[in-house]
A = this chain, B = another copy of it.
């Protein structure tokens, strides 16, 4: 009848379309529950194409992981690189992160919310991308120590702070979903506000005293 046959498309383009579709489905269903048929259908293609271009379900997932990890890290570095003080770099990095997640929610889910271990290769790639993001943040925190205090930076305290920041940011991702109006700028602002002062406390060694109002 209506001769809308499926458009023929060159391989690199098709690959990206498949990966786009895969990210949506993997994010919705999780790795195991996602079916290659469904991904193929969303990509407007039939299943064997997926296997021809990406080898296997695992290969497809790895391709998603690699592409999105690259994107996020690039965005983060591009934002945090040029700023002048460590504080401003961290701010810019966080803003880039929240912007990225706002625009690519599914990517973040695929990258960071996968508890199970589908296969060694996937576990490794997942670990790698997380490590790289953490390393980036840890670097910023370290830079801050170096600049302000000088010596005696406590070994893993920078890492501790980085974990706290990344975890907070991840969780705030959910908060954003509940408050669609909030712009990434405001969230960044509040988080910086909340965390910047305290970071110094931790990095200078703990000084917590049982506090204010003990009746």
Contact = CB atoms under 8 A, between A and B. Distances in A.
Interface of A: 27-33, 84-85, 87-88, 109, 113-118, 147, 156-157, 159-161, 163-172, 174-175, 179, 189-199, 201-202, 206-208, 210-215
B189 A194 contact: no
Contacts of A109: 115
Contact of A197 (B29, B197, B210): B197
Nearest to A113: B115
Given A27-B115, A192-B208, A193-B207, 11 more contacts: A29-B116, A84-B213, A85-B215, A109-B115, A147-B213, A160-B175, A163-B174, A163-B175, A164-B172, A164-B191, A193-B208
Contacts of A113: 113, 115
What is the interface of chain A mostly: helix, strand, loop, or mixed? helix
Contact of A195 (B84, B147, B194): B194
Contacts of A179: 156
